[in-house]
Structure 1
Amino acid sequence: MKHSGIKEEDNTSTVTQFLLLGFSDLPNLQGFLFGMFSIMYVTIIIGNSFIILITRIDPTLHKPMYFFLTNFSFLEICYVSVTLPRVLYSIWTQDKTISLLACATQMCLFLLLAATDSILLAVMSYDRYVAICNPLHYPLVMNQTKCTQLAVGSWLGGMPFQLGQTCQIFSLHFCKSNKIDHFFCDIPPVIKLACGDTSVNELYIYVVAILLAAIPFILILTSYSKIIATILRLPTAQGRAKAFSTCSSHLVVVILFYVSASITYLMPKSTHSALSDKLLSLFYTIVTPIFNPMIYSLRNKEVIAALRRLLLRA
């Protein structure tokens, strides 16, 4: 383990470099993993960029729903770009080292974007709630100013909590090992390497998880319970089926993201295993961003119609 700044008076040292082990326990699959992750990354970039492009150039999609969808697609590109390029670099070069500062930066950006993801999903469910349950007031409630405020709030809402959490974690003393058995600098594998009592840090993780994950999730469930109650009162079966299809698509993404993230961050440190952490992290860092274009666009008739108009113009 690489140390610097050793002090004889208190026999402490400061880790200046970590080793991100990633998927090094699968030496025979490195080429396959590089190819698979490369395809996933390109798919996420192209798919979400397509959403941003088509919602910007087609006037019929200049609605609050697609404004938030554009934000969500851009967020997914940023979200996956915090982790996947580093994974691809490590597999290609077999260089597992990452500096303390780079590790802290990656963790901070990842947590900030995860918080934005959580809040924005709640905002999107609120938008659907107003549209379905209060359609007459929808243009007034979801005006341009309100939409901008909600979007900015989503991007900035988790910043003070996640900056504080990152600073708190990297103020710990690391002495057990410098090997992070994960593919990026996530909280559970990093905090495992800390010496001494980390109960305060774990308590802070729970508090932040409740504020930035549990509360938005409850708001989403509340919105959709009211949406479903309204849908059930619709007079036509076709209208009910269309609305249920939209709700189920959003809820799949919500459940996939929240359940995997909640298990990762709310489980006690002692119950974590490297394999479970990696598998769960793959779900909310890679799988969900891949599903985003398919669930929110390819099953959306307005987006399909906009795509046809774009192709006809070309």
Structure 2
Amino acid sequence: PFEESNRAVADNTRAYIEEKFPVTKINESYENGRGTVTYRVNELPANDTLILKPDDPLARLYFGEGWGAKLFFRVSNPREMELWLDAFEANTSHWGLFVNGAEIARQVPPESKTQRARLPANVLRQGINEITLTFDKTFPITESPNHPLSIVVRSAGEEQGAFGHIYVNGQDASPNLRGYNIVVINPEKDGAVEARANFDTFGSEQASERMAEFIAQIPNGRIVAVAASDEASYRLTQAGVDALKALGAKIDLRGKFRWSHALLAAKGSPHTAREAASEIQVSQIIQGAGLTEPAAAARIGAIRIEPAP
């Protein structure tokens, strides 16, 4: 909606929407100097090739709820497809593959790190297809021999979900409160969590001072995971910004109301830090297997679905 007093802004906004977004105008009405333009989002053509990797923050949108690993894949023209599981490791005796409820494969995990399965055309359908991987058991990740340390940092501003999760070997160690959440991890002790704290930099300027003091006393070599939740910018001060920059952060969240902000760093090695921030979406950083549960059935480096040759 817009009014005559801001017609220039409204016209520029309409032009931007119609140029950048896949929409069709379906209605335009005016009354007493006020107007409303309604758009319909156009259906995008299906992409018959899909590649999912665990460090992609949007990958979770393809997965369904429940036990096992369920994902949804859109097909425009049903035909024989191939499913590839790259860097596949499973500590189970059997794993199965179902497409739209039909069992396609059930087999013992071979030694190969790449698994391939054919998806017959007669079980696929136009539109959304449900693909499910099943396993006969799960196991605690910490009991897996030589398992790599798994860390997932997920940050969301108030309008994106308002959370600040920090998963260490599948366990959420974050206080998950408004502001900055920090977890200190000892990589030499199998990812032992040595400290955790929350600093409400939305509610208090003193929180930045406390955060700076907390970060300063962390020993060098420790892994520091930082996740902003809800809103962390409003009363963030220079002291807080400098403390995060000492870890390797490059983003100053001040003036970025309700942004997400995630940071994973090694204290004393700021050049190795990894960081993500966004005004409109969840920020995520993954190290290792990317577990958000303490037990797992398999590890998969990437999932690919593509037309069969």
TM over 0.5: no
TM-score, structure 1 normalization: 0.28
TM-score, structure 2 normalization: 0.28
The structure that is strand-richer by fraction is 2
Structure of higher CA gyration radius: 2
The structure that is helix-richer by fraction is 1
